[in-house]
């Protein structure tokens, strides 16, 4: 056990970390931010009765997430240069969020998550096209062209605040630049359950100031908060993607077809996004998004989690095909 595990301020980029050897933390402090990495099991030689001989610190290997570390490095350089290549709205929001005199400062992890989304949307397409090409290739291979962006943040670092910041960034830009196709004011927030859905009402700008995060957490300057009312936000859980029996079918037709007539995927989408008022090209947030990732090997898909993921992903594809999806932001503390 490490007696004092806190090395850095939550409001600044980390400057030191504990060394990891064989997948285990040591008490040795190393300068610099820890690189993003993942652990993989290492095959162990078997003992005389087929038992694995595990040596301390030798049962896992640490491998770097090279693409994540590259993006993190580019975002740092872009941040230190003063956020070139972004809209005036984005520039003002980034400065507002980072202001050291804020009465309630935002965590570095929260700001960096939104910085990365802004970087990929506004700066990279004109200046780091290879990053966009890599993301497109991965989404083509694994997500059937859904434009997904994963935001992995530790428990307690405030993913709901990050969603609020992303909604503010998109909506205020859409109000200022209505013809700019990079931005949207329509949002679909998907959750794995009713409890989480109810908790996310803090993301509705029309809620009282003591409830909505834009005022309570000071995510938007007071003189701009009314503009957030242009946003349309639907908060639901993935079960709403299940195709329901249609009520219009005649009893005889139901009997002929085996007793059920399901709504079409397009009809399901109209039901789910009804409150978006016909707006197109929505921004999707998958809260606790580890629930909506399928196994890479189809043969490995089984059980309730796989069934839930299938409903979730099929629903997202139906939304894309029916009304268009500008971007999908997956947020989770659990590894995807």
Q: Tens of pLDDT along 31-68?
A: 999 999 887 766 655 554 444 444 444 566 778 899 99
List all residues 6 or more positions away from 126 whose beta carbon is below 8 Å from its beta carbon. Answer: 85
Q: Identify whether residues 202 and 255 lie together within a single domain.
A: yes
Gap between the Cα atoms of 326 and 148, Å rounded: 10
Q: Tens of pLDDT along 238-291?
A: 999 999 987 654 555 555 555 567 789 999 999 999 999 999 999 999 999 888
Q: Identify whether residues 203 and 133 lie together within a single domain.
A: yes
Q: Identify whether residues 109 and 36 lie together within a single domain.
A: no
- Which of residues 64, 92, 110 is at a domain's end? 64
Query: For residue 284, which phi and psi values (nearest 5 degrees)?
Result: -110, 135
- Which of residues 64, 93, 108 is at a domain's end? 64
Gap between the Cα atoms of 171 and 77, Å rounded: 26
- Is residue 51 in some structural domain? no
Q: Identify whether residues 98 and 22 lie together within a single domain.
A: no
Q: Identify whether residues 84 and 173 lie together within a single domain.
A: yes
- Is residue 89 in some structural domain? yes
* Mean pLDDT calculated for residue range 124-145: 94
- Is residue 14 in some structural domain? yes
Whole-number Cα distances in Å, 47 to 44, 52, 53, 57: 9, 6, 6, 18
Q: Identify whether residues 278 and 171 lie together within a single domain.
A: yes
Among 120-129, 146-155, 299-308, the range scoring the smallest mean pLDDT is 299-308
- Is residue 98 in some structural domain? yes
Q: What is the DSSP letter of 247?
A: S
Q: Identify whether residues 205 and 278 lie together within a single domain.
A: yes
Q: Identify whether residues 17 and 96 lie together within a single domain.
A: no
Number of neighbouring beta carbons within 10 Å of residue 238: 21
Q: Identify whether residues 37 and 74 lie together within a single domain.
A: no
- Is residue 107 in some structural domain? yes
- Is residue 95 in some structural domain? yes
Please tell me the predicted confidence (pLDDT) of residue 40. 74
Gap between the Cα atoms of 107 and 10, Å rounded: 6
Q: Identify whether residues 22 and 160 lie together within a single domain.
A: no
- Is residue 172 in some structural domain? yes
Gap between the Cα atoms of 164 and 185, Å rounded: 13
Query: In terms of residue numbers, what domain contains 37?
Result: 1-46+57-64
Please tell me the predicted confidence (pLDDT) of residue 21. 81
- Is residue 148 in some structural domain? yes
Q: Identify whether residues 14 and 110 lie together within a single domain.
A: no
Question: Which percentage of the chain shows pLDDT scores above 70?
Answer: 87
Q: Identify whether residues 90 and 30 lie together within a single domain.
A: no
Gap between the Cα atoms of 10 and 1, Å rounded: 21
Reported pTM: 0.88
Number of domains in the chain: 2
For the packed helices 66-80 and 129-142, what is the interaxial angle rounded to 10 degrees? 140
Q: Tens of pLDDT along 170-229?
A: 999 999 999 999 999 999 999 998 888 888 999 999 999 999 999 999 999 999 999 999
- Which of residues 64, 93, 117 is at a domain's end? 64
CATH of the domain at 285: 3.40.50
């Amino acid at each position: 056990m490490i007696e004092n595990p806190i090395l850095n301020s939550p409001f600044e980029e980390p400057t030191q970390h504990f060394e990891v050897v064989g997948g285990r933390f040591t008490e040795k402090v190393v300068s610099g931010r820890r690189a993003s990495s993942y652990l993989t099991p290492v095959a162990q030689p078997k003992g005389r009765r087929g038992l694995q001989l595990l040596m301390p610190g030798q049962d896992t290997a640490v491998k770097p997430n090279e693409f994540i570390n590259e993006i993190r490095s580019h975002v740092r350089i872009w941040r230190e240069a003063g956020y070139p290549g972004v809209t005036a709205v984005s520039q003002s929001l980034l400065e507002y969020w980072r202001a050291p005199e804020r009465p309630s400062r935002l965590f570095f992890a929260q700001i960096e998550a939104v910085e990365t989304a802004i970087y990929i949307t506004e700066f990279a397409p004109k200046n780091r096209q290879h990053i966009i090409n890599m993301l497109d290739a991965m989404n083509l291979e694994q997500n059937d062209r859904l434009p997904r962006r994963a935001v992995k943040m530790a428990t307690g670092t405030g993913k709901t605040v990050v969603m609020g910041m992303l909604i503010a960034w998109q909506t205020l830009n859409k109000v200022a630049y209505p013809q700019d196709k990079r931005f949207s004011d329509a949002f679909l927030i998907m959750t794995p359950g009713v409890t989480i859905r109810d908790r996310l009402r803090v993301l509705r700008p029309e809620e009282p100031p003591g409830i909505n995060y834009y005022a309570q957490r000071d995510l938007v300057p007071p003189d701009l908060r009314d503009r957030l009312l242009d946003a349309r936000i639907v908060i639901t859980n993935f079960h709403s993607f299940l195709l329901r029996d249609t009520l219009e079918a005649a009893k005889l037709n139901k009997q002929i077809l085996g007793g059920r007539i399901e709504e079409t995927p397009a009809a399901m989408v109209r039901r789910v996004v009804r409150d978006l008022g016909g707006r197109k090209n929505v921004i999707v947030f998958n809260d606790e998004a580890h629930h909506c990732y399928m196994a890479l090997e189809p043969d490995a898909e089984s059980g309730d989690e796989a069934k839930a993921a299938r409903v979730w992903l099929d629903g997202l594809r139906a939304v894309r095909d029916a009304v268009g999806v500008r971007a999908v932001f997956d947020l989770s503390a659990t590894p995807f």
